[in-house]
Structure 1
Amino acid sequence: MKKLLLALVLLLTMVNAFAQNVSVTGVVQSAQDKLALPAASVVLLQTGSNPLAVVTDAEGRFRFERVTPGQYMLEVNYIGFTKISRPLQVQNQSVDLGVVALNEENTALKEVQVVGRAQLGEQKGDTSQFNAKAFKTAPDASAEELVTKMPGVVVQDGKIQAQGEDVQQVMIDGKRFTGNDVNTAMRNISADMVENVQIFDAQSDRAAFSGFDDGNRLKTINFTTKKIAREGYTGKVSAGYGTDERYLVGASVNYFNNNQRITLTGLTNNINLFDFSIGETPGGGMRGRRGWGGGSPNGIISTNSFAVNYNDTWGKKIEVSGNYNFTDREVVNNQYRFRDYVNSDTTYVENSVNNSAELSHRLNFRLQYNINENNRLLVTPRISIEQNEDITNRVANTFADAQPLTNSINTNLAQRDNINFSNNILFSHRFGDSGRILTADVNTSYGSTDGDTYQAENTDNLLDPSENVVRDQYINLNRNNLAWSGNLDYSQRLGEKSRLQLEYNIGNQLNDSDRRAYNRLSEDGDYSGEPIAFLSNKFESNYLSQSVGPSYQYRDDKTRLQLNARYQYATLESDSEYPRVYSFKRNFQNVLPSAEYEYKISKTSNLNINYRTNTNVPSVEDLQDVLDISNPLQPRIGNPQLDQDYQNRINLRFRNFNPENNHVFFVGVFGTVTQNYIANSVYTNSAPSSFTDGYELQPGARLSRPVNMDGYWNVRSFFNYGQPLHFLSSNFNVNGSIGYTRIPGMIDEQVNYANNTNFRAGLNLSSNISEKVDFNMSTNSSYNIIENTLRTNQNNNYFSQNTNLRLNWIIWKGIVYRTELNHQYNPGLSSGVDESYALWNMSLGKKIFKNQQGEISLSVNDLLNQNVSVQRNVFSDYVEDVQSSVLQRFFMLTFSYNIRKFVGGEAPSMEEPQRGNWGGRRN
């Protein structure tokens, strides 16, 4: 290893000796308000040579390396701004152009009438940029409603997806909206503030600093706002009361002062709202997606919350952002669960009532210090403090050929306190114009869990009553984890178009878990005495890994190629101190290759192929050798002999964006193959005594234990095609996907593969007629084929379809009608589960006050009183259907007031539409 490192250092030193040092740098900004313009196109043209092209980063910076001295023409282009071209003389020293300011296009020539179609946008490398003027929305629509009209953006399983992947990050004018709730971020931007929308795969901070891709990507949407919207404030305040004592009080206020942005939100309600935003509709019923991550939440939920989001620039060199969120939430959820097991005629039926409460504080902060042109520092601390209380009452039964085996009634009360802290410090140094870059980062994290659980069980063995069980126990859990890692990257320019990097990584994860269970000594006594041995465990794990390897990158005006290879050496130690003393130590050696190829086929299309490998260490829950009988018919135990897994991932993406006819096409293929996959080994009759230490399984009960297995596959393809339908003045999208998943598992020490093939197709039609009529119609169908290798007679095919209609209609003089109809069809589910339902919400409102900023509305949620939540889950040893309680019909009277004030004037009223269209005429 030392010889390898020495050879690489010598190689880099030799390359540096003859490397040329000429570069061209600058920053692209708006001339009006000095805001950075990310993803602007910057081109250097020279007669007789291929053009050099780059795209600005999130701070508007661009850099050309290894520029040959000579006379050039510099061109800078950005949608909504006037293109500039100017000559540039490059001699034998680097050129810093400073700020390149672009003027906004003048669109106020009222005496000129333009008839035609608004340009949808363009494709810039892997960035799809859309012109917001090409999409019509209702005057009070949010940016979320705007983007879901755009080609390639769909709502799948309650989450917003772009180009087949979940959107994970939102930016405003190139500045991150700190926090992980993507939907809330988009709902706090009004559609009429947006100039254009960019969709791209953002690299990690480390990759952006070093110039080498580490394979970590975030599907990102960046909203570039209009000039008028960059100074002022917007917001919304709502209060409502309804039948069944349903209530809502919420407020959201956004303050904008160019680089400074502050968002304050507050909410109290019992109608399943998790957040409040300016995109909220009267009564909270018309938004469709409610929970964290987008999906409709199960149960009846009461939430009190407060949040603040802050973005600013301190001086010329420091950029900061952060958010604080306080949540006090209670959930009541009734569930019915039916499981059909693979290797037998055994079924499991469960009815449960769950009451949970959460009190949490979360703080995220980000500080980027651009020390000078050659040095950058990034610090990102995060902290969360949570208190949770969860009470579950469960009645469960097992059956064999419809004959009852067991009946179990148990209650669990769990109280837990959690503290988590993490911090990342990233520093990057550029050695002047030598082409050398040094990047270093340090990650630290600490987590602590302190929990108390009370379990009461009464299980009747219907085959042998002498085996009936009555149990009353107390469990104390103390768990701590500490992790740190460090990375050091050194890169060197090799020539005009290539670069070499050497990377070293070291990381350590320490976990300490102490779980002690006690019996109640008497009816009036406490929980004391000696811990129950087979339910108690004190366990520690220590995972240390190191990796080193080179990376090579080649880039020209059409092609980008990157090759990486890392050698990884890791050790995993597992130690138990109670009830048995033992230790395991395993060593792992892996080569982790990766590669990425991107080719710009034309100005409108490009191809990207990405291959990555990585390893994952088992969690402490999987490693800890202790029996968990919180559900006595579904006990579980860990496995301290687990190895790390090894993943191979490949992604292929093709994008085509034709600005002449506004047709958009995207296709992607995503695949994962995992060796040493952490699968479930299930025992249905009896388990080895070394696992249960004398604990007897009830008839029909199943003990699960994690094991390493090969053979996990997950392959998925996705396509989207979009175009305007001029005769309907609407936008049309069609999307589809084909997926295949193979999950390995073991049942009574026999190998079983659960194969799930999925076909999906969807259609979407969204209006572009008028701001007074805004509708969206969509339907998504899915057909699943489930096959198991152990018992083919239990193979199962099922179909599901979701159809949605959403309409906002300004009928006359501020009278607004809104409706959303959602129909779910699920034939072939288990008996006792509702196969289909229709959820119909609507409201009728009247706009009041100046510019119609106020509204009084009457709304109804679930008019037909059919709302249910049904979900099918596929695992290696069973298929289950779960139906949960949800919020059903109620009526609510709501008052809302829109706060809209900008330096350039108030926002347009509902009677004064200002937007253009896509496919129709624009005057």
Structure 2
Amino acid sequence: MKYYLSLAVLLLLSWSLSAQNQSQLNGRIFDAQTQEPLIGANVVLQSTKDSTKQFGTSTDLEGGFQLALPQGPYQLKISFLGYETYEQPLLLDKAAIDLDPILLNVSALEEGVVDVVGKTPPAVLKGDTVEFNSKAFKTNPNATAEDLVEKMPGIEIENGTVKAQGETVQQVVIDGKPFFGQDAKTTLKNLPADMVDKVQVYDQKSRQAQFSGFEDGEESKTINIISKPAYRSGTFGRFYAGIGHDDGQEADDDWRYRLGGVYNRFNGNERISILGQLNNINEQNFSSEDLAGVAASGGGGRRRWRGGSLGNFLVDDNGGINETYAGGINYSNEWNKKWKLNGSYFFNQTNNIGFDSTFRSFISEEEAGQYYLESQNQNSTNINHRATFRLEYEINDRNQIEIEPNLSVQINQGEQMSQSETYNIEQTLNQSQSLFNSELTAYNFRNRLLYRHRLKKRGRTFSVRIQQELSGQNGNNQLQSENNYYSLNQIDSIDQSSDLDEYERSYSARLEYSEPLNKQMQLQFRYDPSISYNEAEQFTFNFDGQDYNLLDTFLSNEADSRYERHRASLGLRYNKKGFRFYVRASAQWAQLSATQVYPQSFENSYNFFNILPFAVMRYKISKTKNLRIFYRAGTDEPSIGQLQEVVDNSNPIQLSIGNAQLGQETNHRINFHYASPNPSKNTMFFVGFSAQYNKDYLGESTFIAYQDTSFLGVDLAQGTQLTQDVNLDRQYQMDLFADYSFPLNFLKSNFGIKFGGSFSETPSLINNQLNYSRQPSGRLGFKLSSNISEKVDFTLSTDGSVNYSINSLNTSSNNRYYNQTTRLRAYWNPWKTLVLQTDLSHQHYAGLSDGFNTDFLLWNASLSTQLFKNQRGELGLYVYDILGQNTSLSRNFTASYIEDQIGQVLERYFMLRFSYRFVPKKGSLVDEEKSKEMIEHHQRRRSGRGPGGPPPPPR
């Protein structure tokens, strides 16, 4: 006990001594004209006593910076691309010093460029961040942030997915603060375009990487919306409602409605947002995150859910018509510069009904292959609760803590009726009719604790991250089917009930220590241990005439798995004059153990050892050119669902089974990204390339029964199939994306050209023979966005893509198809309050299966009038699918078949709509005169012309 007390006293004494003669310098940097924070500005303090001693950092997403350094006199120097350099003498003689807001003026060169061009430059490059100016992209008064960002080069929205510079945007933040977790779609759809001042696109590093300066590969493509000053303290939002009816329908359930709104109250650091919506016109406010619990569980690995796991406990939502009830709240605040909180809760319920037809052409070693045709009706209900929180506490200038718990719960219920058959060119091989009901509940809880500590020596840091994740699924299904196997001349009936109970828990940690070598180089030591446990059981019972009491041992299973991993890493970071790189080598040992208890008992255990390199290089070629190259190696382990050797017979003629012999997959990924915005010419150019190589690829083996036979102990009638996950040699894919835009001054518009291509090679086993499916594709698109005025706004775009499927096993199954999508969105305010809007989308397909090739035009339009003061309200008549041509088509290439699918869609309806938007009240706006006076005051202080002369050193 004496030993521990002495050690504690020594630790406290050393802590106290290390804190003496140190100063914590805090400051924030803003644009002098717009008052917006400057992100990534360089802050350098040089000792006036010893010029060799320099300390530096860069500003965060709020323009703030912190530096801990020895007390004494310094010269502060702040620089930022496109702005005048700021210098000021400082005397640090206190434990903590807070500077007044520092305002940077645009440099004369930059101002001269703007004056010569006579237009607002659409984008500038600030370090690794591409920043778009909203003033360069005109939109109509009722536009959303989604409408605005779609006009910006390199940003597009495809099927609800936001992409920037060819990569999926994983989160949209407002002034650096999260908004409804990582739901990019919800953020953009619920913010008005007129609140947006700047839009920044960058790769967001993890919180730990931001602290240590070492990149850990946990990057996410992020859009940061910088709001206009007026919206940072005020109330704004919108409300909308509509009622309508299907064309020519009289039934009550053919009424169409929409009701919703969003309310925002921003008061500096305190921000509250509330949103809600109800509709039955396929408007959805949620992302794939809301289905995560019933689509996959936590941990690593690719989740295919074969072999008695979630694959046969879900009714798929294949488009159709959706009725949505959704609502949520987001709250963020900061207290005393020490506490920061951001949290959100989101609820969503979607009721889906739909019909779809699927045609598959199977790749085989024989010239005469097999074909599969399926039609199904389904209805399902998915209920989701999602809560995300992050609490940050700064204990002092050297110690910080973050706690980040997240919880999601999903309930999925569904019913599906299907008819299917398999045939070849000579005859029908089998037919199946089935009724399938399922109910599944899933949850996922993740809690992350992060502790960070700065030591006395600049650049020396220590941090610990601990994470716990718990997830589970439990459900029940009932299957009734009648299956006709013509080769056996028999009809097989199934009436069964299955129960699933699956549970996963994982624990991981990360310890990091960084040590500076000199001003440009820094070492990092890192250790990452983790362990995860999976337990799953499925029991299937057949109907005995009274109840489901007969246990089917062939369709039942009980298994568990354990995956333990230890990774030790050594990294080196170099940073000098716009060039920086980070390299890391990791030695990883892992063990995968799989145990099956029922129906047969066995245990498999595998050990893996890998050397995993990692590297990232960023080079600022010039003020307008930036290059990034990223490389990473990693591993994926199979899921418990893939390891369970139990048959999934939810489709009796297309079976699947797990594989307890699966091993680990190793992957290598490289990304290349080049950005070159030219403010002087108002042009933008992006190009990106990515490639991935997977060794011991977790692929599929498909056995097609050309005659009555048995495979893997499963009896198969002619025409039926059995699919199993297997490890295959290799798989790789490559993608290229480029975007170039420039102004068309004679049209007062911006014109963009985007092109790209991809190539992938995916292996599969078909009747134990190896097939490589090679899929090259090319894409070319154009986009014309108006910048005429708020009264005339249009966006015209067209995208064409050609796709090939080339197979090594049977060249007769090779295929090509072409798709062209052309869209026009237009807004016109021809007279006073009258508004005309139209949206035309033309789809052209060529090369699909017989009966699937089609051209159709979806035309929507509205006529409305603006109401109330400043036209805040709008009342109008909206017509959806005027021509009655709406169609849902898709094509999918896999390594074992080519699939075409057509589904039910929402048909023509009329709707009377009303909307009202509100903006910050006059009393809430930032006082422009006070802002101007503050700018002039700081300019006088810098120049020494005003009262008091130059600013004295802070004390």
Counterpart in 2 of 1:286?
none
User: Does 2:640 align with 1:623?
Assistant: no
Q: 1:245 aligns with which of 252, 255, 258?
A: 255
Aligned counterpart for 1:338 among listed residues 341, 359, 363 = 359
Give 1:480's aligned residue.
503
Deviations 1:259-282 (A, max 9, x none): 1111111111111111399xxxxx
Secondary structure of the residue aligned to 1:803 is strand
- After superposition, the Cα gap between the structure-2 partners of 1:22 and 1:684, relative to the gap in structure 1 and judged at 3 Å, is farther
Shift of 1:619: 1.3
Does residue 1:494 correspond to 2:517, yes or no? yes
Where does residue 288 of structure 1 map in the other structure? none
Q: Which residue of 2 aligns with 1:173?
A: 175
Query: Which letter maps to 1:383?
Result: L
Asked if the contact 2:179–2:187 (Cα under 8 Å) also holds between the matched residues in 1, the reply is: yes
Asked whether 1:224 is paired with 2:243, we answer no
> How many angstroms does 1:696 deviate by?
2.1
Deviation at 1:181, TM superposition (A): 2.2
Asked if 1:672 is matched to 2:692, the reply is: yes
Q: CA deviation at 1:462?
A: 2.2
1:541-598 CA-partner distances (Å, limit 9, x unpaired): 0001011021110001221011101111111110011100000000000011111111
Aligned length: 857
Q: Does 2:274 align with 1:255? A: no
2:911 to 869, 875, 892: 892
Question: Match for 1:547: what amino acid?
Answer: R
Tell me the distance in 2 between the aligned counterparts of 1:196 and 1:614.
Answer: 36
1:705-727 per-position Cα deviation (integer Å, ceiling 9, x unaligned): 00011220111111111111111
Residue 757 of structure 1: aligned partner: 776
Query: Quick one: distance in 2 between partners of 1:886 and 1:805?
Result: 21
Structure 2 match to 1:285: none
Larger deviation: 60-69 or 667-676? 60-69
- Alignment partners' CA distance in 1, 2:231 and 2:32: 13
Once structures 1 and 2 are overlaid, which stretch shifts more, 413-422 or 672-681? 413-422
Aligned to 1:353: 377
Q: Structure 1-normalised TM-score?
A: 0.88
1:87 and 2:115 are equivalent in the alignment: no
Look up the match of 1:547.
Answer: 567
**Is the Cα–Cα contact under 8 Å of residues 435 and 480 in structure 2 kept in the other structure?**
yes
**Distance across 2 between alignment mates of 1:31 and 1:651:** 33
1:901 is paired with a residue whose SS is coil
Shift of 1:690: 9.1
Distance 1:212 1:710, change over 3 A: same
Which of these residues, 809, 813, 835, is aligned with residue 790 of structure 1? 809
Aligned CA distance change for structure 1 residues 31 and 803 (closer, same or farther; 3 Å):
closer
Q: Distance in 1 between matches of 2:589 and 2:782?
A: 49
Alpha-carbon distance in structure 1 between the residues aligned to 2:742 and 2:24: 39
**Residue segments in structure 2 that go unaligned for 5+ positions in a row:** 1-20, 108-114, 246-253, 288-316, 927-955
Post-superposition Cα deviations, 1:56-108, rounded to whole Å, max 9, x if no partner, equal 222434468999999756234488xx8561234699999977454327999xx
Give CA deviations for 1:29-51 in whole Å, capped at 9, x if unaligned.
45999998252422559999999
Within 5 Å, give how 1:799-814 maps onto structure 2. 799-814=818-833
Residue 572 of structure 1: aligned partner: 592
Alignment partner of 1:743 out of 762, 765, 779 = 762
- 1:99-248 aligned at under 5 Å gives the runs 100-102=101-103, 116-243=118-245, 244-248=254-258
Partner in structure 2 of residue 732 of structure 1: 751
1:456-605 to structure 2, matched below 5 A, reads 456-466=480-490, 468-522=491-545, 525-529=546-550, 531-605=551-625
Change (3 A) 1:640 1:96: farther
Query: One-letter code of the match for 1:572?
Result: L
Instruction: Verify the 8 A CA contact 1:855 1:895 in the aligned structure 2.
Output: yes
How far is the alpha carbon of 1:23 from its aligned partner? 11
Sequence identity, in percent? 36
Q: Is the aligned partner of 1:707 residue 2:710?
A: no
- Using the alignment, how far apart are the partners of 2:34 and 2:794 within structure 1? 37
**Which range moves more in the overlay, 678-687 or 392-401?**
678-687
Q: Distance in 1 between matches of 2:69 and 2:397?
A: 17
Structure 2 vs 1, CA of residues 849 and 143 (structure 1 numbering), >3 Å: closer, same or farther? same
Matching residue's letter, 2:835: V
Q: Is 2:28 the counterpart of 1:28? A: yes
- Kept after mapping to 1: 8 A contact 2:673/2:689: yes
Shift of 1:486: 0.6
Displacement after TM superposition at 1:233 (Å):
1.2
Distance 1:557 1:614, change over 3 A: same
Query: Using the alignment, how far apart are the partners of 1:687 and 1:452 within structure 2?
Result: 33
Is 1:319–1:368's contact at 8 Å kept on the other side of the alignment?
A: yes
Distance 1:899 1:533, change over 3 A: same
Per-residue CA deviation, residues 616-657 of structure 1 (Å, 9 max, x unaligned), is 111111111110000012110011111111010001111111
Is 1:875 the counterpart of 2:876? The answer is: no
For 1:824, the aligned partner's letter is: Q
Note closer, same or farther for the CA distance 1:494–1:103 as it changes in structure 2 (3 Å cut).
closer
- The residue aligned with 1:269 is 279
Q: Partner amino acid for 1:597? A: M
1:819 aligns with 2:838: yes
- 1:368 Cα shift? 1.5
- Residue type of the alignment partner of 1:754: S
Q: Deviations over 1:749-797 (max 9, x none)?
A: 1100111001011111100010111100101110112100000111111
CA gap of 1:659–1:32, structure 2 versus 1, over 3 A, is closer
Q: 1:125 to 1:691 in 2, by over 3 A?
A: farther
Q: What's the offset of the Cα at 1:691?
A: 6.2
1:205-228, Cα deviation, whole Å (9 max, x unpaired): 221222211111111111111111
Match of 1:407 among 422, 426, 431: 431
2:344 pairs with 1:323: yes
1: CA distance, partners of 2:92 / 2:239: 59
Q: Call closer, same or farther: CA 1:893–1:869 in 2, change over 3 Å.
A: same
Query: What is the match of residue 283 of structure 1?
Result: none
**Partner of 1:384 in structure 2?**
408
SS in structure 1 of the partner of residue 642 of structure 2 = helix
Change (3 A) 1:864 1:34: closer
Structure-2 change in CA distance of 1:598 and 1:96 (3 Å): farther
Deviation of 1:891 after TM superposition, in Å, equals: 0.4
Say whether the 8 Å CA contact 2:31–2:38 is kept in structure 1. Answer: no
Counterparts of 1:56 and 1:407, CA distance in 2? 66
Question: Structure 1 regions of 5+ residues with no counterpart?
Answer: 1-20, 107-112, 278-295, 908-923
Q: How does 1:410-421 map to 2 (within 5 A)?
A: 410-421=434-445
Pair 1:685-2:713 in alignment = no
Deviation for aligned residue 1:432: 2.6
Provide Cα deviations, 1:498-529, integer angstroms capped at 9, x if missing partner. Answer: 1101000111111100100011001xx10013
Q: Is the 1:340–1:348 contact (alpha carbons within 8 Å) kept by the matching residues of 2?
A: yes
Q: Tell me how far apart the structure 2 counterparts of residues 54 and 763 of structure 1 sit (CA, whole Å).
A: 41
Alpha-carbon shift at residue 810 of structure 1 (Å): 1.2
Give 3-state SS (helix, strand or coil) of 2:600's partner.
coil
Q: 1:75 aligns with which of 75, 78, 81?
A: 78
Give the deviation of 1:124 after TM superposition.
1.4
Are positions 1:56 and 2:79 aligned together?
no
Map of 1:833 onto structure 2 = 852
Verify the 8 A CA contact 2:754 2:782 in the aligned structure 1.
Answer: yes
Q: Is the 8 A contact 2:758 2:778 kept in 1?
A: yes
User: Do 1:516 and 1:535's aligned partners in 2 also have CA atoms closer than 8 Å?
Assistant: yes
Q: Distance in 2 between matches of 1:551 and 1:842?
A: 57
Q: 1:33 to 1:660 in 2, by over 3 A?
A: closer
Supply the distance in 2 between the matched residues of 1:591 and 1:40 (Cα, whole angstroms): 34
Q: Which amino acid aligns with 2:869?
A: K
- Show the counterpart of 1:42: 42
Provide the secondary structure at the position in 2 that maps to 1:632: coil
| Aligned-partner SS, 1:793 | helix
Cα distance in 1 for partners of 2:52, 2:909 equals 69
Aligned to 1:774: 793
